[in-house]
Amino acid sequence: MNHQAAMDTLKAQLAAHPTLMDAYGQVEPTILQIFGAARMSLFQRRRQHQDLVARFKTGKETRQIKVPISPSSIAGYVALAQRPLVIDDPYNAEHLASVHPRLRFAGQFDKSGTFVTQNILCVPVINADVLMGVMQIINKAASGFNDEDVAIAVQVAEILGDKFRYELGGTKHQFEYLIHRGLTSQKIIDELSENDAPVKSIIQRLMSEHRIPESEIGNAISVHYQVPFIGYIPDKYHLYQSDSRLNLSYLKRNHVAVVSDANDSPIVLMTEPNNATLLMEIESALGIDSYEIAVGLPNHILQYLGENVGGSGPGELDEILDEIGTTGEDAEELGDDLADDAPAVVRLVSRVLHDAKRLNASDIHVDPEKGAPTRVRMRVDGVIRDINQVPASHHNAVIARIKIMSSLNIAEKRVPQDGKLTFKMSGQAVEVRVATIPTVAGEGVVMRILATGGAMPISKMNLSPRNMGMLEVMIQNPHGILLVVGPTGSGKTTTLHAVLGYLNTPDKKIWTAEDPVEITQPGLQQVQVQAKIGFTFANALRAFLRADPDIILIGEMRDKETAHAGIEASLTGHLVLSTLHTNSAPETITRLLDLGLDPVNFADACVGILAQRLIRTLCPECKVGYPASDFDKAFIKRQYGDEFLDELGLNFDGEIELYKGEGCENCGGTGYKGRTGVHELLGMSPELRGMVYKEASVPEMKAQAAKDGMRTLTQDAILKVIKGDTDIAQVQILSGGGH
């Protein structure tokens, strides 16, 4: 019988019996046949004792085998680590020690009979992420167990766990038993679990809003995890005294307490006793051989750890100070700032900076509030969101710490100050621009994390084929001016550096004047302007003209002097790149003419204007296609314009596939991950040049540019919707902004 047929037989046998006891006599020979093995044991986890009992086993041995869930036995180790294990020779002590230093083979069962164990395949039986037991297959006659056997064994264990979930014990989720008892409903649990709410907040709301007693919730999670529940009973349990390497903030952050009873036996109390990785970490740090595992409510665990927890969940200060704690490898990476004895505020600021970089945030806001905790917010993918809170009592200390790092005046709290700080993450220096602003509630701070590293290749800019073709032609011009326009944070610097990366060849001399220099590229001469000492963009530009340039990048044309010097430079045979804060490409022309530039000079100098924005892109992990509704089709038609619809190549009478993000762990339930640019590229055609000479109105120039082939930001965004990069909601935000 082949494997698949044997699996089908196994499923049929299981389906024919209501209990595992009834089925075992038939099931066992089938499983042994699948593996070509001599014996098997199925250990069941016992909840009250934290051990495994082999109730179902082959052989004449009648006494129950009991093993603790610990690395001291093969079945116990597999239960603890929750992953399969193959032992080619259980008598090879060296091999066992390489798996875990305390791993032993219980050879007494061999000694008591004639049977000799030659090889073992052991897999955990897990259902709904909870360990039910362990299956052991012993003595495969042929060449021992291989990877295919492991895969099949995992499949068999899954089938057993699924079929006998309640018999082996356990529920699908932590609160299923509460529903079974009629204390709540699936609908309420679903509502509380929306947006991936953490378990601790669901438990909190079940107690406060739905008045479910702690003991009932404890009982439900005990049934789910198959371990005993221990509430907060300080008379009976106290913190276990040991010289372990577990620091308090690590325990608080992971909701773990090691307690002991009157006999001083250690019990590891966890909110998630199925977290095998965490359990293994704690087990190695504790350095103890035997302990019990129990489940506890988050607020009870924090109480054991010495927190004064009221009815409203953990105190804000402790919450934030938990988060700044760190263990092991993090500590080295964060440097001395995170030594255990360092002041909490220093660690807190360091933690905030590292979290921001890890989340890929562009800005950090520390916002004081009158009579309330200070909010720490971060802008990720252009959207600002609350990250955590700092108690009002610690606000001044946090601001002072940031000022010290940025070399600002701590004593001056009445006027805004600007500075810069640098911190290291994974060995790389990260630069942060810091601005302090006095508010009625106290000093606020905004930190902009500057882009680090090299330039993005021009091919990664996600330009439409038409825009890409036009831009490549424009930047091949030996002289002229190219402007990139858009609001703050729309990716202008990134785009300019992508263009420079494309132009950066050994036969070109490129000078840049920037404030600040964020992206660095070898081959460029980059200069930081400093307005404080009178070294402005205009001054830098004049200096460059004496320094034999081919290409010049001027960070921003913010005044007439700089704009005028830029035009002059482009007319004297240099390619000049710069930025401007305007909303659209045609509007840029009128803005520059309003600055007092000569229309003829500007029209002759300008080779192109690229307006851009950043819009959020769909998360690649949870992006799904769906047929466009009539509303969607009408929106696309309206925004792209009837006269250009043929370019899209869509059949509006048939089905059009669009995409949306469902929301997953990868994107924090938002459906979006990362951002991409949308572009509006205006080329200076002879007709448009004539209109600039005459200083025509923005609508007239826009109409001419569209005739010349320019597509607006919204039209470009529609292309990206059809391509599947983003969704209609992002285009609505873009077009709703009045651009």
Q: In this structure, which amino acid lies at residue 207?
A: M
Residue 9 class from Cβ within 10 Å (0-12 exposed, 13-18 middle, 19+ buried)?
middle
Where would I find the H helices in 445-491? 465-475
Provide the pLDDT for residue 510: 96
Share above pLDDT 70 across residues of the chain, in percent, rounded to a whole number = 87
Between residues 144 and 341, the one the model is more confident about: 144
Residue percentage of the chain with pLDDT more than 90: 34
Confidence of residue 11 (pLDDT cuts 50, 70, 90): confident
For 3-168, CATH number out of 3.30.450.40, 3.40.50.720, 3.30.70.100, 1.10.10.10 equals: 3.30.450.40
Give the pTM. 0.54
The most confident of the ranges 148-162, 261-275, 719-733 is 719-733
Q: What pLDDT band is residue 350 in, cutting at 50, 70 and 90? A: confident
Extract long-range pairs of 90-96: CB within 8 Å, 24+ residues apart: 90/117, 90/118, 90/119, 90/120
Q: Which fold has domain 321-449?
A: Beta-Lactamase (3.30.450)
pLDDT at position 513, please?
A: 94
Q: How confident is the model at residue 708 (pLDDT cuts 50, 70, 90)?
A: very high
On the question of pLDDT at 530 being above 80, the answer is yes
Q: Which residues contact 594 (CB under 8 A, 6 or more apart)?
A: none
Mean pLDDT comparison of 87-91, 229-233, 640-644, highest-scoring range: 640-644
* pLDDT score of 171 more than 70: no
Q: What is the mean pLDDT of the chain?
A: 83
Coil, strand or helix at 235 = coil
Least trusted range by pLDDT, from 138-152, 335-349, 581-595: 335-349
Lowest mean pLDDT among 32-36, 128-132, 240-244, 289-293: 240-244
Per-residue pLDDT tens over the stretch 462-506? 999 999 999 999 999 999 999 999 998 899 999 999 999 999 999
Closest CA to 209 of 187, 178, 184: 184
Q: How confident is the model at residue 62 (pLDDT cuts 50, 70, 90)?
A: very low
pLDDT at residue 50, as a whole number: 67
Helix (H, G, I), strand (E, B) or coil at 446: strand
DSSP 594-653: HTT--HHHHHHHEEEEEEEEEEEEE-TTTEEEEEPPHHHHHHHHHHH-GGGGGGG---TT
Closest CA to 689 of 605, 633, 582: 605
Sign of the C-alpha dihedral, residues 7, 12, 13, 15? positive
Res 577: pLDDT? 97
Q: What is the pLDDT of residues 632-685, one digit of tens each?
A: 999 999 999 888 898 888 888 889 999 999 888 777 778 888 899 999 999 999
**Beta strands per DSSP E along 450-566:** 480-485, 510-514, 524-528, 551-554
Domain ranges across the chain:
3-168, 171-226, 228-314, 321-449
Average pLDDT over residues 262-276: 81
The answer for residues whose C-beta is within 8 angstroms of residue 653's C-beta and 6 or more apart is none
Q: Do domains 228-314 and 321-449 have the same CATH topology?
A: no
Please give the pLDDT value at position 541.
92
Q: What is the pLDDT of residue 40?
A: 83
pLDDT at 364: 96
pLDDT-based confidence at residue 221 (cuts at 50, 70, 90): confident
Q: 613-632 pLDDT, tens per residue?
A: 999 999 988 899 999 999 99
Residue 363 pLDDT grade (very low, low, confident, very high; cuts 50, 70, 90) = very high
- At 42 the pLDDT is 83
Least confident range from 43-47, 125-129, 275-279: namely 43-47
Pairwise pLDDT comparison (648 vs 246), residue with the higher score: 648
Q: Are 370 and 441 in contact (CB under 8 A)?
A: yes
Least confident of 213-217, 281-285, 349-353, 494-498: 281-285
The answer to whether residues 345 and 366 touch, using CB atoms and an 8 Å cutoff, is no
- In angstroms, the Cα distances linking 648 to 124, 626, 652 are 54, 18, 10
Q: Minimal CA–CA distance to 504: which of 486, 485, 483, 526?
A: 526
Highest mean pLDDT: which of 244-258, 430-444, 645-659?
Answer: 430-444
Pick from 89, 100, 85: which is nearest to 136 by CA?
85
Mean pLDDT (whole number) for 110-131: 78
CATH H-level superfamily of 228-314: Type II secretion system, protein E, N-terminal domain (3.30.300.160)
Separation between Cα atoms, residue 256 and residue 260, nearest integer Å? 13
Mean pLDDT of 129-158: 83
pLDDT of residue 548: 92
The residue among 528 and 245 whose pLDDT is bigger is 528
Q: How many CA atoms lie within 13 A of 178 on its CB side?
A: 27
* Residue 153: Cβ within 10 Å count: 22
Q: What is the pLDDT of residue 107?
A: 67
pLDDT for 329 equals 33
Using omega within 30 degrees of 0 as the cis cutoff, is the peptide bond preceding 516 cis? Answer: yes
pLDDT at 232 over 70: yes
Other Cβ atoms within 10 Å of 546 Cβ, number = 7
State the pLDDT at residue 717. 95
Scan for tokens 């940025």, then name that residue. 406
Q: How confident is the model at residue 60 (pLDDT cuts 50, 70, 90)?
A: very low
pLDDT band at 311 (very low <50, low <70, confident <90, very high): very low
**256 beta partners:** 270
Least confident range of 69-83, 230-244, 484-498, 559-573: 230-244
Q: Has residue 336 got a pLDDT over 50?
A: no
Per-residue pLDDT at 438 exceeds 90: yes
Please report where in the chains the tokens 């370019």 appear, as a residue. 647
Out of 96-100, 328-332, 433-437, pick the least confident: 328-332
What does the chain come to in residues?
739
627 CB neighbour count, 10 Å cutoff: 10
pLDDT at 339: 38
